[in-house]
Amino acid sequence: MRHHTARLLVLLATLLPLSLVAQPFEGTIHIKTDDNSLMYHMRDANVRLDIPGDDGLVSILLNRDSKKMVLLIDSEKLTMELAFPADEINDEMNDSDLADYSKSGRKKKIAGVDCEEWRHPDGSRLWTPVTNRFGALFTPNAPGMSDVFADFPGAHFFPFEVTNEDGKLVWQVTQVNARTLPATLFQVPEGWGTFNFNFNFGN
């Protein structure tokens, strides 16, 4: 399970939802991981994940309709289109034990949102919204991702809190800010160059 948790967190930090609920949330979700703070922006079919680092901000743009991801490297003013090998991720995750998670019955508010707890026999825990307005980081009807979380018993998998088997908090939503976002936030800035490098997640 330790290796599964590591893979899960890598995916949580890099994958963006390809499916949104009927009345999608628009705004910004602030997320604290064990070693960083992320900003996750959503508007209609568009998603942007901002990842601050020592060398400046790196962002990932995704549009559900085009099913393309673009990396923005702010310090270099460069963009790079990303290919995502969903089949390889499927192969890696098919042996996971997500089906072993079960509801504990515990509920609490996280960043003002009512959430429920899912527990695994190894001690790891997930908290997801009771009523989901935020889409899903992983969704059964996303192209190429049909098998990844097929066995997870939760209907709404947008993690608001993740604790690993050692009891360490490794992912937590700290703020949910519903607001109107400008379309330019999800566009490649004018004048930026293109970094020509064939990069695939998982390779």
Domain borders along the chain are: 2-182
Q: Are 142 and 113 in contact (CB under 8 A)?
A: no
- Phi and psi at residue 125, to the nearest 5°: -140, 145
Task: Name the nearest CA neighbour of 39 among 60, 24, 23.
Answer: 60
Whether 161 shows a pLDDT value over 80: the answer reads: yes
Spatial neighbors of 66 by CB under 8 A, at least 6 apart, are: none
Domain 2-182 has CATH 2.50.20: yes
- Of the two residues 86 and 128, the one the predictor is more confident about is 128
Report how far residue 73's alpha carbon sits from residue 54's, in angstroms, rounded to the nearest whole number.
12
Give the global pTM. Answer: 0.76
SS3 for 201?
Answer: coil
Whether 110 shows a pLDDT value over 90: the answer reads: yes
SS3 for 71?
Answer: strand
